[in-house]
């Protein structure tokens, strides 16, 4: 293997250590404890696992953590009432509703109901709008923010780089394209956003200095599509089997990892790459929200 592995788990531990110091300083200076409400609807195994990790990280940082679990059959009105309660609670600085939601609920209605100043996932239109306008007060969506943080901490030059993103979802591809294309440090890249309508995806990928795969299709990005020495960020988390011995799902990214690692300069593993960075950014947003409301 020639590529350097971008170890998201180690990087996120470093960020969480820094945040731990900030949490202690906030408590000492203002008596403020960052408060995070995590809301899970139903029992989708992937969602349960994500929420469990977020709650454990919040506890480890000494947050005031409130976990709400609603049955999959809950009415949308119950979820809205739960969000409203946390919007009004001064001890809560961040609200996270784990997606996806059951089909009978309108995701947009739920995201709109979260107070923008507590939207630590960065999915509310106010925060996405601020991101688009380059307003530094935006809560950035956690996965794109985590990817940028990872690239910056790894010393990857983004200024003038050709970045190709595969996937244009509202939570990963689109906001990441805006973030990396923004003028200023950690931006200034020339970004191409690709999707299922893209003609000749391989040709776009081959141009990339930084290639981000966020399609949710295991092994979509082939090693032949990677420019030698490129930085490859694999966002995909695909359950491709089940390990009877560990009782855990077998995960795979969107990139053909082993062969890609022979060509790339740097590459993220799955798991242990982008995932832990996403959680670290959620914590960072919550601490920032608490800092902005120190009296609570």
- Specify the residue, 82 or 237, whose C-beta has the smaller distance to ligand NAP: 237
- Tokens 């820094």 map to which residue? 18
Please report how close the Cβ of residue 295 comes to ligand NAP at its closest, in angstroms: 33
Give residues in contact with ligand NAP (CB under 6 A): 143, 166-169, 171-173, 194-198, 201, 214-217, 220, 235-238, 274-275, 278
Please report how close the Cβ of residue 203 comes to ligand NAP at its closest, in angstroms: 13
Tokens of 201: 């995806």
Longest dimension (CA), the chain: 56
Please report how close the Cβ of residue 75 comes to ligand NAP at its closest, in angstroms: 25
- Pick the closest to residue 196 from 238, 173, 168 (CA basis): 168
- Specify the residue, 64 or 174, whose C-beta has the smaller distance to ligand NAP: 174
Please report how close the Cβ of residue 103 comes to ligand NAP at its closest, in angstroms: 15
Give the containing element (helix H, strand E) for 181: helix 173-181
Q: Of 4, 7, 17, 54, which is the active-site residue? A: 54
- Specify the residue, 197 or 247, whose C-beta has the smaller distance to ligand NAP: 197
Q: Of 4, 7, 67, 98, which is the active-site residue? A: 98
Judge whether 292 counts as a catalytic residue. no
Cα 199 to Cα 156: distance, rounded to the nearest angstrom: 28
Judge whether 54 counts as a catalytic residue. yes
Q: Of 118, 119, 121, 227, which is the active-site residue? A: 121
Q: Are 70 and 41 spatial neighbours (Cβ–Cβ below 8 Å)?
A: yes
- Pick the closest to residue 231 from 144, 145, 148 (CA basis): 148
- Specify the residue, 163 or 274, whose C-beta has the smaller distance to ligand NAP: 274
Cα 10 to Cα 13: distance, rounded to the nearest angstrom: 5
Cα 54 to Cα 123: distance, rounded to the nearest angstrom: 17
Residues serving a catalytic function are 54, 98, 121
């Amino acid at each position: 293997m020639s590529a350097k592995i971008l170890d998201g788990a180690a990087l996120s531990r470093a960020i969480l250590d820094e945040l731990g110091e900030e949490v202690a300083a906030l408590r000492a200076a203002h008596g403020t404890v960052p408060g995070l409400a995590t809301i899970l609807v139903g029992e989708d195994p992937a969602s349960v696992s994500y929420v469990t990790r977020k709650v454990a990280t919040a506890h480890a940082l000494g947050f005031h953590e409130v976990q709400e679990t609603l049955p999959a059959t809950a009415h949308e009105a119950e979820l809205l009432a739960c969000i409203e309660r946390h919007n009004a609670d001064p001890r809560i600085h961040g609200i996270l509703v784990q997606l996806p939601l059951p089909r009978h609920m309108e995701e947009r209605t739920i995201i709109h109901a979260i107070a923008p100043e507590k939207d630590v996932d960065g999915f509310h239109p106010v925060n996405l709008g601020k991101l688009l306008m380059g307003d530094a007060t935006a809560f950035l969506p956690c996965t794109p923010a985590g990817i940028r943080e990872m690239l910056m901490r790894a010393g990857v030059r983004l200024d003038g780089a050709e970045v190709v993103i595969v996937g244009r979802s509202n939570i990963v591809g689109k906001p990441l394209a805006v973030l990396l294309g923004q003028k200023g440090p950690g931006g200034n890249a020339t970004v191409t956003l690709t999707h299922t309508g893209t003609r000749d995806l391989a040709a776009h990928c081959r141009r990339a200095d930084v290639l981000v795969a966020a399609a949710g299709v295991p092994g979509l990005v082939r090693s032949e599509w990677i420019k030698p020495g490129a930085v490859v960020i694999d966002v995909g988390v695909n359950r491709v089997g089940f390990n009877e011995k560990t009782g855990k799902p077998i995960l795979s990214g969107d990139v053909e990892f082993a062969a890609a690692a022979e060509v790339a300069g740097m590459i993220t593993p799955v798991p242990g790459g982008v995932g832990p960075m996403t959680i670290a950014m959620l914590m960072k947003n919550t601490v920032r929200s608490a800092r902005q409301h120190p009296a609570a």
